[in-house]
Structure 1
């Protein structure tokens, strides 16, 4: 069994900016991810326990736990009973620009339109509260929209916005993109954590998007923060893969 990676070696290479709007757990996770991808933290190695790591890096245990959970979710770490937290081969990741679908469609002249299927105030589900870094039961405005482009359905979008950040109306959501409304309310999204994936359409999704059941769907989940470091929005979207793709600009 491999020995745990030394936390002393990690301390100087995980600098934290406590004045940054980027959450501490994300700073820690991002730097550990860089070390894994560069090979400085080799595949097959084990991390020390989260208590020791938290002490060495000067963060709380919940912050360290959240950073590790983030890397587990991204497939870079795995927890094994009797072994601990082990580094595995990292998945390919493709960052995309921080923008809204409405803004992207409008800029490309594709005439976006929106049908608001649900708009209500409710307690945030556990996974949404966790993504927003908020206590369970946080009151959010829950939004479900069907977005069209050029008259055709393109995406089903679910969003949660803390009620003390924004309480949009149906009319506002039909005429404007959510990020435009956030900007108008003084909460400009500045940083985000976004995950892109793929899966097959469910029967209800296929009906709404005019696709066959089981058709390929692109998925995206995102949490966005404003310049003050406040989480202002959580989104979970499903797109028709036959009509939509994520475009990336790569530079060497």
Structure 2
């Protein structure tokens, strides 16, 4: 007598409590109903950050809707930043990264501190004479040579930001001096930044930025200009970055001015 086959394990959607009781008679489009149910399960903790979302086929079967409907719901949640897609792996509940706007730290150190593996896709490595804008920002004489580094910064393979840095060659001999972390390369030469000034601005991704970051054109980005200084006051770095607005929150501590005089920014 043949032994009975073991009962199949529940589908991932059922394990997450996604019964997908969509109301076919409701005036609300089905893809919006599906997106809202996924949001609710994440808010309840039924699906945790980092967990994979059931496949389009599974969601389609359980919800009794077309895969086109499922795809529209997932695309909406991807644009919102609730989900992230890893090439060749699947779709996951995405964490939001909170970074202190008052912390002077490089991208690599920040990501490692969060248990993520930092990476980079190089766009440009070059050296040349500082432009008038670069010279003014860094307090350089005209004709001073600088290194320019441009790259897409990634965490666990996911693009998060585009960084474009300018560093005087007195601190960084050439563009190949940086393997991954600019700040580690500077520290190795005794030029670790001690303080910095940052300016943040909300903006929209250009077509090229959207292509590099894997987001829709016009998606929210946070533009950050940073000028970093050595203990002796010399400017060592000018970096302009575009961070994905769906993945990043910048936080800063605020204090009651009545508690006493506060140091000025950059002091």
Please classify the TM superposition score into its range, dividing by the shorter chain length.
Answer: 0.5 to 0.7
The equivalent residue for 2:231 is 227
- Report the TM-score when normalising by structure 2: 0.55
CA drift at 1:169? 4.8
C-alpha RMSD over aligned residues = 1.7
Give yes or no for contact 2:127–2:175 (8 Å, CA) kept in 1.
no
How much does 1:160 deviate? 0.5
Q: Which stretches in structure 2 are left out of the alignment for 5+ residues?
A: 1-99, 257-267
Q: 2:121, 2:145 → 1: CA distance?
A: 23
Does structure 1 residue 164 correspond to structure 2 residue 167?
no
Whether the aligned pair in 2 keeps the contact of 1:114 and 1:173 (CA below 8 Å) is: no
CA distance in 1, matches of 2:178, 2:153: 11
Matched, 1:138 2:160: no
Q: What is aligned with 1:182?
A: 186
Deviation at 1:249, TM superposition (A): 3.2
Alignment partners' CA distance in 2, 1:244 and 1:125: 31
Tell me which residue corresponds to 1:56: none
Secondary structure at 1:137 match in 2: coil
Change (3 A) 1:95 1:209: closer
Whole-angstrom CA distance in 2 between matches of 1:219 and 1:243: 13
Aligned pair 1:242/2:246, yes or no?
yes
TM-score calculated relative to the size of structure 1:
0.59
Contact 1:96–1:246 (8 Å) recurs in 2: no
Aligned residues: 157
For 2:210, what is the secondary structure of its paired residue? helix
Q: What pairs with 1:79-228 in structure 2 (closer than 5 Å)?
A: 96-170=102-176, 173-174=178-179, 176-228=180-232
Residues 135 and 169 (structure 1), Cα distance of their counterparts in 2 relative to 1, 3 Å cut? closer
C-alpha separation between the residues in 1 aligned to 2:216 and 2:240? 21
- 1:110/1:150 contact within 8 Å kept: yes
Q: Deviations over 1:173-222 (max 9, x none)?
A: 34x31111111110110121211111111100000000111111001101
Runs of 4+ displaced beyond 6 Å: none
5+ residue gaps, structure 1, are: 1-93
Give yes or no for contact 2:126–2:175 (8 Å, CA) kept in 1: no
Q: In structure 1, what is the Cα distance between the partners aligned to 2:140 and 2:173?
A: 18
Offset of residue 251 of structure 1? 4.4
Residue 180 of structure 1 aligns to a residue whose secondary structure is: helix
Deviation at 1:95, TM superposition (A): 5.1
| Contact 1:95 1:248 (C-alpha < 8 Å) held by counterparts | yes
